[in-house]
Structure 1
């Protein structure tokens, strides 16, 4: 409608983006006398900015000012209080400054999902399909998957002279499982999560603590650790599925940051900022080849299970709720319950990836729960393509391989990696796997049309 009035939307959006970038740059310049410029400024600042906007209410400038003032005052009070003794227990309020803004955001979103000064979102009345229904794998796809499985199984033999290749391949497989679990709730369920690293980290720390503190064997921890992550997803998901859109995404980020802050500061239990060391696999898995084969089996089973769930009745109801909440409710589908179950499933799979990661590295740190890990997962899913089931696997392999290769061979690897990802996004707007699928469908369409025409001609002749 705006275009019909003669407004150039491209220039309008560009101008708004440029104005926002100008204000962000001004804020960064004003902050320099207080804090030095560091490489962590981006994630720290974007997190705080999201919190202020969401707490104040989307689209409300007065709300943003009030939210910024409220959070700053609460942080100042926490610092002023310091350590306070409550019922004989020392409570360090100063340590709460790491997560107090996310605690405020979580409390506001649970109480008033649209923020302090925002407006409630009306339920979407769109009832059409957002994406084409998922197709079952064809013979060519199955044959390719079988060949790939054989190559991966034989890889330790083929790369006997390059031990680092197995280390990299284990990282690729774990990243693929993590990305597949995130895609499960982002694609078919339509719920965007900015804090999926929480479940990866819960699985990793669960495995490390079970092995170190309780002395459980690795085989048992690989069973229990995903259950720990699933329990976290069970609790967080109960609140998250009651929201939608950016508010749901920000609540997942809040929960992830709260989990990270607790892990970072609980020195006596989680090791604090130093993390936990000495988390090694069982003796029969001490050889990298054996651990690689175990990782390959578990990752393949995890990805296969997620795919199997999506083609089950549960998967169909999950996509129905994504495409139209009102229509799904009208036919008796409990959308929130389905989404809650999806959170638990995705959390368990991410927890398995975290447990495998902990044993592969021999140690674990709070970085596995950080915003950066969640952002990496989002990049993997979007780089591969959210419309295809193979997308997260392709994106994870591409991103992890690029990260490793560029970091080992380039001094300014962060800038180089960002530039390469930007080029890939511009070349493949639907993701790598999504663009390949789109190209294949273009070649397939004329053949299908020709078959349909031939069938009609045969009917006419008959």
Structure 2
């Protein structure tokens, strides 16, 4: 740990901060004006580096190289404009979470498009002409290109700042950030303003990707890797604040550089690997900043949009017909294994569908009735799964005991995380839950001696009584049914009504004596416990558990299930979970480009059913009922006038 090494690492951090800022700046601009949490922004970064690779190969030479980087950024900006016009413009008035679902589906489509165009191999571009060498700093070699990148960040910040403060376009963008509906009311063409901002944001992301070409190879995993870091930077700096994004990028990148420089340090006889903290240091920073300053370092509370989602209808107890339908479905599901072989694929798939339904229902419990959007619900699923595996492997417990205790461990995690999360709202609450989930994932990924590290834990099988897949299926069916029934009962209890009151009007709920934050905290614990039960069932169904069950991808899957089914209905998460899991399985088994097929299907469903599949079904049922009621009097009136 020399001083020269620290200086070089800090310079590396500055270079990384510049690249990260370019992506975060575009994301911040898009969110500030359109209020869309754009998951596809990382895809623009990935397309930027792939496009730059192709253009550099075609153009060649010194001038061709630098022209290729600029042309790649412009091409990505045009792609962003096309995406906004063709897709996002159609769903601006849809609930904001469905806009999020649409951009996630777009990630899947773009990833497979890149796979088709450039293949699965890593593509490493040439070194930058004129900047291929290195300069000596305190006896150490430092790449000249990285010095160039260090200068790019402040230059781009200055240019964008001038654009926003010295031009009419910038004035309109800043006005739309404060109140976009008022800008439209004053006669500004809001649609084209949104298109221009989205194109500018995509261009910045594409430029960030193109500039990475001499530093790292282009891969298909770059989109999700960069979007997580970009979200951290935008939230830490303050949503919509470009100086805040630049400051946050510097903070995160330099902390990672310091962790790498420290390496393994002996503290009081205990070896601590700071280099491993690089997997979670950005999320630790985000969690700390949001707890201390909920709007970010330089941010402020965003004006709420006048376009709100369709409110959830008042709870009504199920009629006899609905209860009969549910009973018939349960009996039908219970009879399925009798018609198949013991370890048939149908039985295995049904177990996955049931577990997904329980996981999605637990997430819906805090998203719908409680009104809290969570991007990190996989934390409780994973805690339950790991707890069940460790209870069986390390403590020698039976599967039955592990299934009882594992949800309690997940509930404890929700108890701790929820205490911090309920103090925030909106996108900041969602990002804090994401931070906690990623911290939990990083711990599981790196704690080799306890969690098995990246390899996970194996040999987690059901007890002898449930070794037969059909027996385990019936156990899963019973526990999933019990979990969903219990959540429904909670929603019809005084606690459930108080929870919904706090969601619909926190001030009124507080005025009549409801402690809204405590209710939301308790909802986190309830949802965490049920999510943990789903994780425990998953661990025993697969016989192993890995850090993937805690990853952000698992959390996104849960979000997709809830939104696909419809957040306004209690049946929505079950319908969404079954639809998404079945689609994922069917498409993945029939084509190599299953992501594009799945993403395209989700996009189609979002455009056709903005209230979700279950929400659309309920809407059609209510419309049919209304038509029947209106038709009955008209028949009677006709009879009166008939001679």
User: Aligned in 2, Cα 1:453/1:245: closer, same or farther, shift over 3 Å?
Assistant: farther
* Cα displacement string for residues 411-457 of structure 1 (whole angstroms, at most 9, x for unaligned residues): 11122211111112112111100111111112223445678999xxx
Match runs of 1:210-229 below 5 Å: 210-229=391-410
CA distance in 2, matches of 1:229, 1:352: 8
Compute the displacement of 1:125 (Å): 12
Q: Which structure 1 residue ranges, 5 or more long, are not aligned?
A: 455-462
The answer to whether structure 1 residue 355 and structure 2 residue 531 are counterparts is no
Moved more, 427-436 or 94-103: 427-436
User: Aligned in 2, Cα 1:145/1:222: closer, same or farther, shift over 3 Å?
Assistant: same
Q: Secondary structure at the match of 1:51?
A: helix
* Cα displacement string for residues 174-215 of structure 1 (whole angstroms, at most 9, x for unaligned residues): 000000000000000000000000000000000000000000
Partner in structure 2 of residue 331 of structure 1: 512
The answer to whether structure 1 residue 298 and structure 2 residue 497 are counterparts is no
User: Aligned in 2, Cα 1:452/1:371: closer, same or farther, shift over 3 Å?
Assistant: farther
Compute the displacement of 1:33 (Å): 2.6
CA RMSD of aligned residues (A): 2.2
Compute the displacement of 1:145 (Å): 0.9
Partner in structure 2 of residue 377 of structure 1: 558
CA distance in 1, matches of 2:526, 2:210: 44
Compute the displacement of 1:362 (Å): 0.3
Counterpart contact for 2:310–2:568, Cα < 8 Å = no
Moved more, 443-452 or 34-43: 443-452
CA distance in 2, matches of 1:13, 1:452: 49
Q: Secondary structure at the match of 2:589?
A: helix
CA distance in 1, matches of 2:220, 2:354: 28
Match runs of 1:403-418 below 5 Å: 403-418=584-599
Q: Secondary structure at the match of 2:271?
A: strand
Match runs of 1:155-170 below 5 Å: 155-160=336-341, 163-170=344-351
Counterpart contact for 2:461–2:540, Cα < 8 Å = yes
The answer to whether structure 1 residue 17 and structure 2 residue 168 are counterparts is no
CA distance in 1, matches of 2:310, 2:537: 37
Compute the displacement of 1:160 (Å): 3.3
TM-score under structure 2 normalisation?
Answer: 0.68
The answer to whether structure 1 residue 27 and structure 2 residue 211 are counterparts is no
Q: Which structure 2 residue ranges, 5 or more long, are not aligned?
A: 1-181, 636-643
Q: Secondary structure at the match of 1:411?
A: coil
Counterpart contact for 2:343–2:470, Cα < 8 Å = no
The answer to whether structure 1 residue 66 and structure 2 residue 242 are counterparts is no
The answer to whether structure 1 residue 191 and structure 2 residue 367 are counterparts is no
CA distance in 2, matches of 1:115, 1:366: 29
Compute the displacement of 1:254 (Å): 0.5
* Cα displacement string for residues 251-273 of structure 1 (whole angstroms, at most 9, x for unaligned residues): 00000000000000000000000
Match runs of 1:406-445 below 5 Å: 406-445=587-626
TM-score under structure 1 normalisation?
Answer: 0.94
Match runs of 1:100-179 below 5 Å: 100-120=281-301, 130-160=311-341, 163-179=344-360
Q: Secondary structure at the match of 1:426?
A: helix
Q: Secondary structure at the match of 1:409?
A: coil
Q: Secondary structure at the match of 1:2?
A: helix
CA distance in 2, matches of 1:5, 1:135: 43
* Cα displacement string for residues 128-150 of structure 1 (whole angstroms, at most 9, x for unaligned residues): 99332122212222121111111
Counterpart contact for 1:124–1:324, Cα < 8 Å = no
* Cα displacement string for residues 58-90 of structure 1 (whole angstroms, at most 9, x for unaligned residues): 121100000001110010000001111111111
Compute the displacement of 1:409 (Å): 1.2
Partner in structure 1 of residue 451 of structure 2: 270
Partner in structure 1 of residue 497 of structure 2: 316
Q: Secondary structure at the match of 2:272?
A: strand
CA distance in 2, matches of 1:109, 1:47: 16
Counterpart contact for 1:125–1:326, Cα < 8 Å = no
Moved more, 54-63 or 37-46: 37-46
